[in-house]
Amino acid sequence: MLIGYARVSTLEQNLDRQIDQLKKSGCKKIFTEKISGVIKERPELDRLLDHIREGDTIIITELTRLSRSTKELFKLVDIIEKKGANIKSLKEAWVDTTTPQGKLMFTIFAGISQFERDLISQRTKEGLSSARARGRKGGRPPTSKKDVALALKMYDSKEYSISEITKATKVSKTSLYRYIQKRQNSRK
């Protein structure tokens, strides 16, 4: 049986395009979800995984609808394959575990994707280490004492809104509240 899975990240988004594509591809049952892909608990995906049987093929419109990371994608494909089912993406033709070539391509591309993420992470760490060795700390530069003093003065006058203060002084709202709290704690 062909079973579809459609997901959008927010309640405001529409599933119609995905559902139309899944129906056109022959899906007899479609599980739909309006939930972010980064959230681990996806009830409809869990229902789908419980529902599939040997010989079924899960159809997705594109990989991002199923998984946000290579690690999670491999985990899901492993669960699906252990149940004797397959997975096929309409957008990424190389994701088709119904064929030996598709399985090979899936493994290769997923590995390359993970390799690329690992390289980016490694370069970022090396760049941060190099910058620290040169005395740079990274992050935002500290807010000038002059701007903080002006922001606190404007706040104390009760003549300005928080947004007016942040626009005039370039002190963020979070920083302003932190300086107000710090000042209150030092007076105790």
Contact 34, 55 (CB under 8 A): no
* CA–CA gap between residue 115 and residue 118 (Å, rounded): 5
For residue 6, report the phi and psi dihedrals to the nearest 5 degrees. -125, 140
Provide φ and ψ at 70, rounded to 5°. -65, -40
Positions annotated as catalytic residues are 9
